[in-house]
Structure 1
Amino acid sequence: MRHPKYLLFLVFSVLLCLFSCNREGNSKGAPPSPTGIKNRGDFNVLLITLDTLRVDRVSVYSDKYVKTPNIDRLAKKSYVFTRAFSHNPVTLPAHVNILTGTTPRFHGVSDNTGFRLDERFLTLAEHLHRAGYNTSAFIGSFPLDSRFGLGQGFDVYDDNYGTHNAMELFFVERPAEKVIEPALRWLSQPQRQQQKWFSWIHLFDPHQPYLPPQPYKKEYHHDLYSGEVAYMDASLKVLVDFLENQGFMDRTIIVVTGDHGEALGEKGEETHSYYAYNNTIHIPLMLYIPGTKGAFIHENVCHADIFPTLCDLLGVEIPHHIQGKSMIPVIEGGKPRPKGRDIYFESLTPFLNRGWAPLRGFVRGDLKYIELPIPEVYNIKEDIHENHNIANRSNIKQLKRDLTKLKLDLKGKDMMERSKQVDADVRSKLKSLGYLSGSTPAATPKVFTAAHDLKTLLPLQNRMLAAIGKYQNGKFREPIAELKQIVEESPGFTLVYRHIATIYKDFGQVQKAIEILEYGLKKNPGNISLMSKLGIMLAEANRPGEAVELLKLCVQKDKFDPENFNFLGVAYYKKGDFANALENYRKALELDHNHASVFNNIGSIYLRVYLAKRDERAYRLAMDNFDRAIAIDPRLFAAYNSRGAAYKFKNQVDKAIEDWKKTIEINPNFIDAYFNIGISYLGMGDRVSALKYFRLCKERFSRKLPLRELQRLDRLIAEASQ
């Protein structure tokens, strides 16, 4: 029997362009003019989307910063578009544009957060599947998880990139080689040689944070972004080799494009999703067609053009609602597009998540118009870097009218306003819970002025990024103070409330996290991201009843997000209501059957049942679920921690310690594992090993531990030192 002072500190863990190419292109390795296209029909299709890729980081466009020999291998015989544009500088909407052939004005997806492609919209995968194609997708990161609607029409949608933790600041991702491996397994299946197929490969590596592996980290230490691009290109070698060696190059159309670019500090923007300058919406686009020699194409094209172009090449009907235009007439005959064609773009993240002025605009020939309270107009033929705003020499009133007409012509359901509304019953419930009283909501202006312009508010954006940088460097008070000042100046900046809460929780101040989220929710009533995070924090603070009520509202507002059901299950678990917890976990699995965190949480329920009733069947179910979680996501540290606890309860201490050490290996900041290892060694009489882990814990986390736990740690250190 264990001595009380050796009770484990167990947590049944819940995871809760610089454009150096001129407009004639870098002509190395490509013929000067297009060649006719013959034998349209039974081609395979490979779509490769390279996330966050600037034009000037692909050496067929410019080799100033980095060489991309494997992308260039495809480009040599491809049609390389020098003036291709994304409609959004954000991952999810950009890919929705590509895969639906429509713009966000039609399908309504304008940001990563809070949006999902509705099932009523036709995707390229669905269209080709109906035409007899086998379909597959291999995804690099969370923004394109199947829960967001892009899995429609795919026989295989491999989004096994790891478990997304709502507490983290960055998206979970898997490196390029780990995306390409399952793609090659699928392409290697015998039926790929007999049946037509469409496969999409998404690589996420150039996205922030820039963490290239060696030797690219060393070689590009001065420019880690380019190091990520170099690594991604090197990873593509095995794919290009495979296509050549298996004979697929003779019968596969290949599209390579970036979803958007990266600002890298230009014009004051550090990454993307803020402005819509060419460094983030002018994108690389290459089209390889078997039997042709390729060429540089200098006409304006866009992401929405990819869908109809593929249909044109495959001899498949182009659906009537498609808003893009086939690029084949331009390629085949060198026929220029009408100069009046307008390519719509938008950047609405600052509007949706901050309440700042919405950014919309269009590219027409050499003219680019950006609609903001302080409007911008550029001649991108002469000024690709957009250094000279010629708005004062332009007919802004006419351009505004043209944009209004374009938005109407693109039709569709503009879902931005709907996504910001609070349903009447949800609003009423929030009021009864006390989240709509005692504070004035942050109203979105009806008329945006220069004070709401993104250029005016850029310092707030960059102050937020600087504060996050300080937090990542281990600071606490300074980033908290700066972020609080930002929300005082801009109460609608909902992302900042979430960041403050994350920092508070990381430093063991969960009550402070709750208070800032409650304040943010009163300022932004009905904001589901604040509601869900507050619900998680309430559960963490052992206030499960309140957490349940709030998270039920989240489920009501968004029934397609498995995280809402997962978090609600956690709240019921904390409440001791295992039946409702299991019900919600199972609903989460219906939406995402490979949700490793949910399997871990289910295992925690069965382990609790075992401890209460010594039910061996419950123990086996607990272990089965922990094992399933680890099989799905071998880096889910919480599952190792939970399984370690299960081993300890069976007195399999060596296995328990092994799992807890694995927990620390994956996540060195997981405090509970240090306690668990130290306490286990102490119970075994190994005071030296116990002292090692207790001291490590104090050395690394003394600033983050609550006073009570710090005092407990000191007592354990004293005991191990005897």
Structure 2
Amino acid sequence: MSREKNKKKLVIFTTTILTYVLILFFVSACQAYPSMGTDKEKLNVLLITIDTLRADWLSCYGSEHLDTPNIDSLSERGVLFSRAFANTSTTLPSHANILLGTTPPYHGVHDNINFVVREEFLTLAEYLKEHDYSNGAFIGAYPLHAKFGLNQGFDTYDDEMDRLPFQDFMSEERRGEVVIDRALSWLKKRNSPWFLWIHCWDPHDPYEPPEPYLTQYKEHPYTGEVAYVDFVLGRFFAYLEENNLFEDTLVIFTGDHGESLGQHGEKTHGFLAYNTTIWIPLIIISPGFEKRRVEHYVSHIDIFPTVCDILNFKKPSFLQGISLVPALKGKKVPQRPIYFESLHPYYSKGWAPLRGFIFNKEKYTSSPIPELYDLGADFDEKSNLAAKRKLGRFEKRLEKIMSDYIFPESERAEERLDKESLEKLRSLGYISSSPDTRKENFTRDDDVKMLLPYYNQAMEALEQYGQGNKKQGFETLKKIITERKDLAVTYINLADLYKKEKRLRDAVEVLKIGHENVPSNYFVFFSLLNSLQEAGQYNNIIQAFHGKSYLQMESDPAIWNLLGNAYYKTSNFEKAIDQYKMALSLDAESQLLFANLGEAQFSLAVKKKDKTMLQKALQSFQTAVKLDPDYALSHVGLGKAFRLLGRFDYAIASFRKALDLDDKLDEALYVLGLTYLDKGDKDKALSTLTLYKQKYYDSLPDDQKQKLDDLIRRCKLNKNEPNSMQSLKPIS
């Protein structure tokens, strides 16, 4: 644990410890904090967060879309807050707000991309750990992976996802039933007191509920996801009921943010901050509090201090929310501004920032096109009052809120992600390019509300193409480019459509134009290099790379691998080796990178007849095989290295393993035949090379057909030549 965190904890607990000493010594007849006696007197704490859950999709909040009986059962036991708000509209920041009790200006986590919860901040789990709680968390998707920092204080942080094959990261989420099963397994082994956090990802897009919900809600799959989550939670609640755990457990149920579902021009979430995405359900159950409905405006940062108050633990001084215990008792809570922000577009795309606050049922959003709503009369935010009011006082209040909330070192939460994180978050729909230099001054053209329609059209173009409206898909993207040349996603999507049409040259050209118009966008640049590789324009990759510098290069091994491939294909093996080693310095567990390094080392060894380099190639291939025994090309490389070292039996075993994994590897089959010939086993050499001829002869050029025929004739004539250092490239 860091020295800074120890200092913070010392401040937090000193008063409590001194109080106990005085109480035990002077006032043995009473206790200021009764829940801190025996473990049996402490309430358990259950936190349930459902990703992307709109409050108005629950029947206890008046939903007309479906019945949610199991979640409703919570409201029958406790207190339902009808006007609870998230302070952010994306997953990681919202959970940071909940578990830290502070806002993003304080903890510095503004987006899922490139941010981590720093170790010096005290989490709710750590705080309860100090009070002898056993803590477990069960996570539904990758944005809350332990590497992003919310695992602090948990004895068990179960974020293991069932993964699909190599380079497919869509599996970096798991069904709610899996999360519940894991959580129940943990809970059944626990003694009180415990703190359990359950996170279900299911309502997040893409909306793909399991049967029977997929069929039942075919026209409204988001509704099906919510129905499914309600079902799986029912099994968990039944366990709590059967074991009388509701009697000694504090339960907090909430959503991390909502979902626009097309309202206000936003299909999902993370761009805007209307109530469709920041109004969330909040239900609190605790022994001693009656069922009621609370209309007060509250937010996520109020959860941490409320837990402290209910447990009779001293609240840490840094908390920015308030205790909701008075509201649980039917009393008023103090009115104060509720800060919110939606900065994913700012940090990931360079669009104008969006921040605001809610106070006295007025909601102000600061952006180049400001907005002001009377939530008492217009909770759906259909009538913007900004043009009718003087906004200076609202801007001043927002500045004051931010200055009160800010923590001097909050910027340290921003970090560059590794390639694995980039790929996984991209697969979940979050990732885009973070500009190297952010603008400070913005105009109406930079407002999210102005840019989002173009972004939506660019994504709709892919749907048009996929539905068979190919011409319309192309025309949509081309029209956007004529109107907004600075929208990176348009060039990337248009290039993808050209590739689907096998028009690789056009894909390259449109990405060149995109790189000229948005030169700071890393993913346009990366897509350009990748397309040049597909087109076999390796010298152009090297030329395009010259003099370029992006911050993402510091943490993205894929681009160094791509440059290594370009040098390898142009026979500059020394430079290829340098690039692959650079990539491995960023990802030392990639079998693909070790296999590529081995190929470059092998080729250099053949070129220079360098046995030492050949040994290095062998080691690289062995590491690749160890990292992923099912990656066939690593076995091919290993076999080639063994063959040149004269270790024929090992070479043969490697080639046969490669062919077991992929029987279409022509190189493995051909060099296996050569290795049998090297070993003197002419019968197996003949049968192997004959099979190779049967499968690939028609696709070979004439000179290579002749070479293959000569080898087969040699086997039949019972001739053999000594092994020597030679190129073993496939003849196909």
- Mapped pair 1:348 → 2:335: no
- Mapped pair 1:197 → 2:199: no
Give the superposition deviation at 1:306: 1.5
Q: 1:389 aligns with which of 381, 384, 401?
A: 384
Contact 1:569 1:584 in 2 (8 A): yes
CA distance in 1, matches of 2:88, 2:95: 9
Identity across aligned pairs (percent)?
35
Letter aligned with residue 202 of structure 1: H
- Mapped pair 1:252 → 2:234: no
Deviations 1:31-76 (A, max 9, x none): xxxxxx9857623322221111111111211241112222223332
The 5 Å alignment of 1:272-671 reads: 272-332=269-329, 334-339=330-335, 341-412=336-407, 444=439, 446-449=441-444, 451-473=445-467, 478-503=472-497, 516=510, 519-530=513-524, 543=538, 546=542, 564-565=556-557, 568=560, 572=564, 575=568, 581=580, 584-585=583-584, 587-588=586-587, 598=590, 602=594, 622-626=624-628, 649-650=655-656, 656=662
Deviations 1:600-632 (A, max 9, x none): 6557767999999799987775454225xx8xx
Secondary structure at the counterpart of residue 222 of structure 1:
coil
Contact 1:278 1:385 in 2 (8 A): yes
CA distance in 1, matches of 2:315, 2:543: 48
Change (3 A) 1:129 1:609: farther
Corresponding residue of 2:61: 61
Letter aligned with residue 336 of structure 1: K
CA distance in 1, matches of 2:405, 2:256: 21
Change (3 A) 1:128 1:506: farther
Contact 2:117 2:149 in 1 (8 A): yes
Letter aligned with residue 454 of structure 2: L
Corresponding residue of 1:81: 81
Change (3 A) 1:607 1:234: farther
Contact 1:442 1:523 in 2 (8 A): no
Give the superposition deviation at 1:225: 0.9
Letter aligned with residue 587 of structure 2: A
CA distance in 1, matches of 2:71, 2:547: 46
Give the superposition deviation at 1:246: 4.3
Corresponding residue of 1:224: 221
Secondary structure at the counterpart of residue 323 of structure 1:
coil
Give the superposition deviation at 1:282: 0.4
Change (3 A) 1:176 1:206: same
CA distance in 1, matches of 2:186, 2:562: 36
CA distance in 1, matches of 2:391, 2:468: 48
Secondary structure at the counterpart of residue 344 of structure 1:
strand
Larger radius of gyration: 2
CA distance in 2, matches of 1:235, 1:380: 34
Corresponding residue of 1:25: none
Letter aligned with residue 99 of structure 1: L
CA distance in 2, matches of 1:623, 1:686: 29
CA distance in 2, matches of 1:204, 1:343: 26
Give the superposition deviation at 1:175: 1.9
- Mapped pair 1:142 → 2:148: no
Letter aligned with residue 384 of structure 1: F
CA distance in 2, matches of 1:536, 1:167: 16
Which segments of 5 or more consecutive residues in structure 2 lack a partner in the other structure?
1-32, 417-435, 607-613, 639-652, 666-687, 701-732
Count residues with an aligned counterpart: 586
CA distance in 2, matches of 1:550, 1:288: 61
Corresponding residue of 2:155: 155
CA distance in 2, matches of 1:166, 1:351: 32
Which segments of 5 or more consecutive residues in structure 1 lack a partner in the other structure?
1-36, 422-440, 590-594, 631-638, 660-679, 691-707, 709-722
Deviations 1:448-492 (A, max 9, x none): 23x444444443233123113224436666435533543453344
Secondary structure at the counterpart of residue 87 of structure 1:
coil
CA distance in 1, matches of 2:165, 2:482: 28
* Structure 1 vs Structure 2 CA RMSD: 4.5
Greater shift in the superposed pair: 362-371 or 470-479: 470-479
CA distance in 2, matches of 1:454, 1:385: 19
CA distance in 2, matches of 1:90, 1:123: 19
CA distance in 2, matches of 1:326, 1:565: 46
Letter aligned with residue 397 of structure 1: G
CA distance in 2, matches of 1:418, 1:231: 35
Secondary structure at the counterpart of residue 102 of structure 1:
coil
Structure of greater relative contact order (alpha carbons < 8 Å, 6+ residues apart):
1
CA distance in 2, matches of 1:56, 1:641: 52
Contact 1:532 1:551 in 2 (8 A): no
Secondary structure at the counterpart of residue 297 of structure 1:
strand
Change (3 A) 1:275 1:616: closer
CA distance in 2, matches of 1:305, 1:99: 10
Contact 1:94 1:259 in 2 (8 A): yes
CA distance in 2, matches of 1:579, 1:523: 31
Secondary structure at the counterpart of residue 81 of structure 2:
strand
Change (3 A) 1:442 1:122: closer
Letter aligned with residue 251 of structure 1: D
Corresponding residue of 1:114: 114
Contact 2:47 2:251 in 1 (8 A): yes
Corresponding residue of 2:647: none
Letter aligned with residue 205 of structure 1: D
Corresponding residue of 1:263: 260
Deviations 1:155-191 (A, max 9, x none): 3333333569999997943222233333333333x3x
Secondary structure at the counterpart of residue 60 of structure 2:
coil
Contact 1:88 1:94 in 2 (8 A): yes
CA distance in 2, matches of 1:483, 1:166: 31
- Mapped pair 1:92 → 2:92: yes
Contact 2:553 2:559 in 1 (8 A): no
Give the superposition deviation at 1:215: 1.0
Contact 2:115 2:415 in 1 (8 A): no
Letter aligned with residue 350 of structure 1: P
CA distance in 2, matches of 1:401, 1:143: 34
CA distance in 2, matches of 1:374, 1:361: 12
Q: TM-score, normalised by structure 1?
A: 0.69
Deviations 1:674-694 (A, max 9, x none): xxxxxx9x959999xx9xxxx
CA distance in 2, matches of 1:158, 1:387: 42
The 5 Å alignment of 1:232-243 reads: 232-243=229-240
Contact 1:645 1:656 in 2 (8 A): no
Corresponding residue of 2:421: none
Contact 1:648 1:656 in 2 (8 A): no
Contact 1:38 1:291 in 2 (8 A): no
Change (3 A) 1:651 1:258: closer
Contact 2:635 2:657 in 1 (8 A): no
Give the superposition deviation at 1:109: 2.4
Deviations 1:193-215 (A, max 9, x none): 25x43332221111122111211
Q: TM-score, normalised by structure 2?
A: 0.68
Contact 1:276 1:346 in 2 (8 A): yes
Letter aligned with residue 588 of structure 1: D
